[in-house]
Amino acid sequence: MELGLVHQLFGGARDPSGERLYEVRTCAVNGPGQVRTDADFPIGAPHGPEALTWADTVMIPASHEEDESLAPDALPEPLAGALASVPAATRIASICTGAFVLAAAGLLDGRTATTHWLSTDLFARTFPSVTVDPDVLYVDEGRVLTSAGEAAGVDLCLHLIRRDHGAAVAADVARRTVVPPHREGGQAQYIQRPVTPAQSTSTGGARTWALAHLHEPLTLREMADRASMSVRTFSRRFREETALTPMRWLTQRRVDRARELLESTDHTVDHVATDAGFGSAASLRQHFVAGVGVSPGTYRATFRGACGEAAAEAAAEAPGPTSASTGSSHASNASNASHASNSSNSSNSSNSSNSRAV
């Protein structure tokens, strides 16, 4: 599943003329050949580890037989050699327990990461130098990214596409794949917990109402009233359902709205700020940089072309150092899938993809 979704999502990304934005290639660290899986069919990898030397992004899906046996600084060959060949500037990401591979290679030391919720306790014990967030769907640390269990790889891939080519392209890929472009909450909502009495109320209606009124100065009290709850109950229930506070959720949705407007309209930053509910350009810039990593003007220049007002705004809003890891457009993409073979021979397959000029 993890290997297939990389091909499906990156392979479905298109520019306005219909050209593919990524080329996805599958390779095995032992060289071209068959890679055993835990299903009743193997994977044919037509490329060897040399693909990792030119790939711009390396993705590591899970090997459920092997990943959880890994330890710090104990990555086995030939996987260790293959990862060592990845250039320092290459973006690298894992899906599900593929995070164990990144951690064993030392790539997550001092960083925050996530993995499948069933494995987070073991991961934290095995790699104490990594801060584990067990609740989120994915963690973006710039060059290194990790996702939670299996289907969270969809969220991670859409995030990378959105980071590379904008929200409109990612939304189009999501529509083609029939998945939501952005899922609410984190993997905490999928963890099995003791059964509690069913509750007839939910904050879903308030969220739907808020999305239709983002341009208005919404308050926590107004949202709670929509759900017919006290503020305290609403806040608790909201966090249980989305893993976010109401105001943080509202800010994220407003940033999403601003991204759509910056990509699809010629509105000024002041106009976008009003329509997205931030009230002022200064407030929009503050929250946009915090959430996206670049200023609104730079974002528009990246995804609509640096011309006219966008170019002027981009020049006036020179991004700070934090923009380097989140606002760039990548020229190629690669992914690496790990699958164990027999006890004395392990094999890992990898997908790599080159992004064509957009």
Kindly state the average pLDDT of the residues 200-224: 89
For 52-66, 132-146, 342-356, which range has the lowest pLDDT when averaged over its residues?
Answer: 342-356
For 17-26, 152-161, 290-299, which range has the lowest pLDDT when averaged over its residues?
Answer: 290-299
Lookup: tokens for 270: 């002041």
Q: Is the pLDDT of residue 205 over 70?
A: yes
Q: Determine what percent of the chain is predicted with pLDDT higher than 90.
A: 45
For 236-240, 250-254, 327-331, which range has the lowest pLDDT when averaged over its residues?
Answer: 327-331
For 204-208, 275-279, 315-319, 326-330, which range has the lowest pLDDT when averaged over its residues?
Answer: 326-330
Q: Is the pLDDT of residue 291 over 50?
A: yes
What's the mean per-residue pLDDT of the chain? 79
For the chain, report the end-to-end CA distance as a whole number of angstroms. Answer: 28
pLDDT score at 6: 92
CA atoms within 13 A on the CB side of 135: 8
Q: How far apart are CA 279 and CA 298, in angstroms?
A: 20
pLDDT score at 345: 26
pLDDT score at 9: 94
* Cα distances (Å, whole numbers) of residue 65 to 182, 304, 346: 30, 45, 10
Q: How far apart are CA 332 and CA 90, in angstroms?
A: 9
Kindly state the average pLDDT of the residues 43-68: 87
Q: How far apart are CA 353 and CA 184, in angstroms?
A: 28
Instruction: Please report which confidence band the pLDDT of residue 324 belongs to, taking 50, 70 and 90 as the band edges.
Output: very low
